[in-house]
């Protein structure tokens, strides 16, 4: 199991406290296969340089992941 997949099984959502519901957000036009994939969240076709990387499948809380600590940071970024 890759580090990211293993991390996703134990990550805790700061929006709803669900465990294992954080998934990467995929941007662009989805295919039928992408739309039915439970391992991603569709982010739409409009992409900017400051979009979140992950979202919770349960409550749709969006976040990024700190590359050093691995901590989830809410979006827009929590201060």
| Residues in a beta bridge with 26 | 42
pLDDT at residue 76 above 70? no
pLDDT on residue 9: 85
* pLDDT tens-digit map of 19-58: 999 999 999 888 899 889 988 999 988 888 889 999 999 9
Q: Where are the domains of the chain?
A: 3-74
Q: Kindly report the number of other CB atoms within 10 A of residue 31's CB atom.
A: 9
Its sign, for the CA torsion 46, 69, 40, 18, is negative
């Amino acid at each position: 199991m890759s580090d990211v997949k293993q991390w996703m099984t134990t990550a805790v959502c700061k929006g709803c406290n669900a465990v294992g519901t954080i998934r990467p957000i995929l941007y662009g036009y989805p295919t039928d296969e992408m739309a039915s994939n439970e391992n991603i969240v569709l982010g739409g076709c409009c992409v900017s340089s400051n979009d979140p990387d992950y979202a919770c499948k349960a409550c749709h809380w969006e976040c990024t992941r700190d590359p050093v600590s691995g901590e989830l940071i809410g979006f827009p970024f929590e201060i």
